[in-house]
Amino acid sequence: MKKLMYNPGEEKYGFILFSAKFNERWDEIKEEDHIFIHSSDFEYIIESVKNIYPFTDPETKEIQEFFDACGMNCIPVTEWGKILIDLQQKIYKDAELKKFIEKFCNWILEKKRSSDEIMIWGTL
């Protein structure tokens, strides 16, 4: 698992992101394709993620009401498009923060090409 970092504190908790296809078995997903983002760094992303809620899961047709910081969030790639637009429209005064957001967006764009959804698993 890779770490994507901007300015993490001493924390051990954060968010694990990985991509999947509908009906894919969890044991088929390679851990080396996961990224981990510390909670303090994820604060720069979480507002854009929360803005997509509620949404309808295209596979189950269930309404996803809210982002769960302590559990699994299955977010379809269509919703990730909205998150990326929101993140890319923001102005970042800190050059390192801008690089961090760009790396995050590039990772998401790469995973969107071969996935149905990108998961965020909160380890808080």
Mean pLDDT, the chain, rounded, equals 93
Residue 124 pLDDT > 90, yes or no?
no
CATH number at 113 reads: 3.40.1760
Question: Which domain, by its residues, includes 15?
Answer: 2-122
The model's pLDDT over 55-114, given as tens digits with 9 standing for 90+, comes to 999 988 999 999 999 999 999 999 999 999 999 999 999 999 999 999 999 999 999 999
pTM, two decimals, is: 0.92
Number of domains in the chain: 1
Q: How far is 8 from 10, CA to CA, in rounded Å?
A: 7
Q: How far apart are CA 55 and CA 109, in angstroms?
A: 20
